[in-house]
Amino acid sequence: METWKASCKSLQFSPPALHTEVIRSVSTLTLFGLRHNTRLPIRGERSFKYMDPKFCLGTSNGLSSTRDPAQHYNNLNERYNNCEIVIGNLEITQMERDFDFSFLGRIREVTGYVLIATNQFSQLPLGQLQVIRGSTLYENTWALSIFLNYEGQYGLEGLGFTHLTEILIGGVQIVKNKHLSYAPWINWQDIVRDSNARIEITDNGPCHPDCKSYCWGPNKDQCQNLTKTVCAPQCHGRCFGTSPLDCCDTECAGGCTGPLETDCFACRHVNHLGACVPHCPQPLIYNKQTFQLEPNPDAMYQYGSVCVAKCPAHFVVDGSACVSSCPPDKMEVERNDIKQCEPCNGLCPKVCDGTGAPDRQTVDSSNIDSFINCTKIQGSLHFLVMGIKGDSYNKIPPLDPQKLKVFSTVREITGILNIQSWPAELNDLSFFSNLTTIRGRSLHPPFSLLVMKVDSLTSLGLRSLREINDGSVYISNNTNLCYHHTVDWLKIFTTPRRQRRLAYNDIKFNKPWSQCEAEGDVCDPLCSDAGCWGPGPEQCLSCKNHSRHGTCVAHCNIYSGETREFERKGGECRACHSECLPQEGKATCRGEGADKCVACSNLMDGPYCVSSCPNGVDGERGQAIFKYPNAKGQCEPCHINCTRGPHIAAIVSGVLAGLILCLALVLFSLLYHRGLAIRRKRVLRRYLESGECIEPLDPGEKGTKVHARILRPSELRKGKLLGSGVFGTVHKGSWIPEGDSVKIPVAIKTIQDRSGRQTFTEITDHMLFMGSLDHPYIVRLLGISPGPSLQLVTQLSTQGSLLQHLRQNAHNLDPQRLLNWCVQIAKGMYYLEEHRMVHRNLAARNVLLKSDYMVQISDFGVADLLYPDDKKYVYSEHKTPIKWMALESILFRRYTHQSDVWSYGVTVWEMMSYGAEPYAAMHPHDVPSLLEKGERLAQPQICTIDVYMVMVKCWMIDENIRPTFKELANEFTRMARDPPRYLVVKVRLYTSERVVQFFSSGSGQSVPVGYLPMTPSPGDDSRQVSYNTSHTLHSLLHDSERIQVWSVKIGYGSTNLK
């Protein structure tokens, strides 16, 4: 490949001059456990002083440029010298090595893309560049594209974009820069707003050690500043610190120095006098007194990303923006010395040259397309024989008659209209039906309208012609022409000499009037005495009675008709406003405005009928106006503290749609279950017992009195193995009542005493007591089947255990749901405590999901079935839940409600760690000695210190000072009222492909994963909480993610746990 002459030694970017006074260097600042040598703004100081920035227009040349490098450089220098905001694209391509580019030093924002390619310079001082908006993209993909900047041993070695913090739209391409080393070490996710944007970068190299992870170059002062990925989850954009209180305003782009809209580095939308706002003050604001939109005296216009009081001289105002030209459907006008775009009434004005010049004598097939969309003809129009029938000498073919439709847009001719030939297929001049004026500035003396020797014409059809400023009329030798006799030409001539001009009219040798009258070629009866241009009520010069859209009518639709009307002065029928309610037997409106209605079809805002109440329109001082309709259909202002208007219509329609859908579902369900109802009714009747109301088909329903049923082993069918534990196995199965074929899905837990000390041939009081327990948050026991191995039948949970759900849905769990589960488990355990039932095996695996938002405790009381006397059981190291057991239970086999509290704390830790195994790196035999030393599980990543302290209270050595389940339920109920305050979703940090090192929280010695020392080191503050990176949760991470988990060192015994 040919060596490109592109030697960019480095791109040097120095800190912005306006920002240096509010930036302080923070060495080794710890952000969420990562150390960064970065800069953070000082809170509360304004990031910039507002001043009118200097704008310049960018380019769209791509890789093309002038052949002369010096001329190309001079063009760039003239375009960008002292420029601050580039409107368009910044393209630096094919430049020589020795040019001075210091004129680029003030650029801080580019609205399009930045292209740096195939250059030879050594430095490019874009020191203040902060934001690339990407309104246009290079190759429709890239907002920043840097490529082919090398030659031999020279080339681009580092990116110095140390203050580039925001790319709003588009991706990044940095490729084929042979000597570039640092582009891959940039956290582009912190800069690029669009998470789906392409990032295409090749090559890499090491950063300075102080930069830790991300840098723009090899030096210590080229570390990347992170303003998005280090933010607290409560921040929905950029931040200036790691606290939830350090969020930038949502209108900020690139970062900020404080929480206000005046503290932004740059604006996401527009800058209004130093404050970032969604839009500039609008030209029209809502007047509460007049109920109308009125001109805003403080209106400003958007120019790029800045609000300006006046658009630049070469721009025009379109709505609330400065544009270089008006869109196709608007025309440029000047009002009050302001050039602005206004909607065209139909087609926008277009002036075209007429005919009559030596090289353009007549309208013909060679030039007729030049009249497309013309509204004004500058000059005259001539229709001669050689134009209509073709000119064989000049090889011009005959004119297609349908192409004459181009003249239907012509409203004015400044010269004359001369028709000496016309297609035989056409019997009138209706293609000029919108022609209103013939100026006659140049005459065919003394005539300005000539129609001669056209035998095909039966009428003129000039229905809109109302004005001939100069000249007379010549209409002659049209043997079939009628209606011209009726025209009152005196009303069409407008100058004081019109009587004289009328005398010069030459109308002769056309079809006699008597013959026209005899053949019925006369004006419509609705026409006045002024005459007509042809047959029908639409050809009248004026109307005898009324007119509607240029057509004469007998009367207006004032009292009837699909569209109600009112009569204007002059007999013109005009439609009432669309919001007027049609009236029967009386007028619907008094005029054409929305305030002239007799009654409103929808709503009324003051005197005006409206389709909807004002919702968020700008009012005085930029205040948004919201109104709602009252019972009478009148718009009333919302309370001053409301930030959004009501959506009653949407709510009503949504409710109605929901009711219809629910009704359809209910009917379908009734039809579906009707066949099953007859069979189930017989089964239920057979199993009803005296004084009881048991519903085995729907075990989730609560009856008036709950008892477990005694089942025979033959009634149970075991299916798939769901799991196994300390006390036995659990199968998915079916209960088939004896003598029936109905299958009821259930879970069957088989209890076996492997020690041989206990059999289950008889029903005990404890079994019946377990069957009597009924609470929303415990699994209901449906039946008991005694025998050599006891079988407990419970309702089947289709969603499985809480532990399985946590591991499979870690990324979809929100703080509200986790805290609600904590409350439900605590309430279920409190119910068991009230009924003197010790669980002895509480863990996330023994909590089942009844629904996504409701859990139920299972396996309670099983140990008491096995060992009712000594409260001890034989265990193996693989199945005994030592890691969930309290220390007194492990050492002394003492099980109480307070030992269940310990297990509850571990269960909560499992939930907050998304199903991680406690003490994962520890052997079960080592756990007791670890607990005796004061070690406890580490603080989960998502927990605040308040939640973690509740867990620590559950793990106190002294069981008497552990909280009760009632206290735990109350505490988590309080937290569940404000979940984001107590649980923070995990923070995902973008990292390149490096190995994350994990450390302990003590003296630097490594400790096993999953727990932390409870004994403070000498000199530690008993209230101090230190954060360091620890181990990642293996069950939560994908290969591309790096999620930090904190370990916490707490002064043992000295922290207030309430």
- Give the separation between CA 860 and CA 840, rounded to whole angstroms: 8
- Give the separation between CA 976 and CA 817, rounded to whole angstroms: 9
560 CB burial (10 A radius; 0-12, 13-18, 19+): exposed
Residue 722 in marked binding region: yes
Place of tokens 């109104």: 627
Q: Within 10 A of 248 (CB to CB), how many other CB atoms are there?
A: 31
Per the CB < 8 A criterion, the answer to whether 178 and 150 are in contact is yes
166-167 and 131-132: which strand pairing? Answer: parallel
Vertex 778: Cα angle to 772 and 782 (nearest 5): 45
Place of tokens 């300390």: 726
Among 88, 122, 130, which Cα is nearest to 106's?
130
Residue 456 in marked binding region: no
416 CB burial (10 A radius; 0-12, 13-18, 19+): buried
E strands within 454-544? 467-468, 472-476, 506-508
568 CB burial (10 A radius; 0-12, 13-18, 19+): middle
Per the CB < 8 A criterion, the answer to whether 438 and 468 are in contact is yes
Residue 749 in marked binding region: yes
- Type of residue numbered 795: Q
Residue 1049 in marked binding region: no
- Give the separation between CA 915 and CA 9, rounded to whole angstroms: 52
Dihedral of CA 441/447/452/456: which sign? Answer: positive
Q: Pick left, alpha or beta for residue 37 (phi over 0 → left; psi -120 to 50 → alpha; otherwise beta).
A: beta
Six token digits for residue 11: 């791109």
Collapse the DSSP code of 406 into the 3-class scheme (helix H, G, I; strand E, B; otherwise coil) and give the result: helix
Collapse the DSSP code of 629 into the 3-class scheme (helix H, G, I; strand E, B; otherwise coil) and give the result: strand
From 225, 841, 846, 960, active-site residue? 841
Collapse the DSSP code of 546 into the 3-class scheme (helix H, G, I; strand E, B; otherwise coil) and give the result: strand
Q: Within 10 A of 1042 (CB to CB), how many other CB atoms are there?
A: 18
Residue 493 in marked binding region: no
Q: Where are the alpha helices (DSSP H) in 157-283?
A: 188-191
Residue 727 in marked binding region: yes
Six token digits for residue 468: 């001939």
Residue 724 in marked binding region: yes
114-to-152, 536, 854, 984 alpha-carbon distances in Å:
25, 64, 53, 38
Residue 447 in marked binding region: no
E strands within 176-318? 199-201, 252-256, 264-267, 270-272, 275-277, 284-287, 292-295, 301-303, 306-308, 316-318
Exposed e or buried b per residue across 507-538, where buried means at least 16 C-beta atoms within 10 angstroms of its C-beta: beebbeeeebeeeebbbbebbbebbbbbbbbb
- Give the separation between CA 465 and CA 488, rounded to whole angstroms: 12
177 is catalytic: no
DSSP 184-199: GGS-HHHHBS-TTS-E
487-to-528, 530, 531, 533, 552 alpha-carbon distances in Å:
11, 6, 4, 7, 16
Residue 308 in marked binding region: no
551 CB burial (10 A radius; 0-12, 13-18, 19+): middle
Main-chain phi, psi angles of 178, to 5 degrees: -55, -35
- Give the separation between CA 616 and CA 643, rounded to whole angstroms: 8
Collapse the DSSP code of 639 into the 3-class scheme (helix H, G, I; strand E, B; otherwise coil) and give the result: coil
Catalytic residues: 841
Provide the annotated binding site for ATP.
722-730, 749
Provide the annotated binding site.
722-730, 749
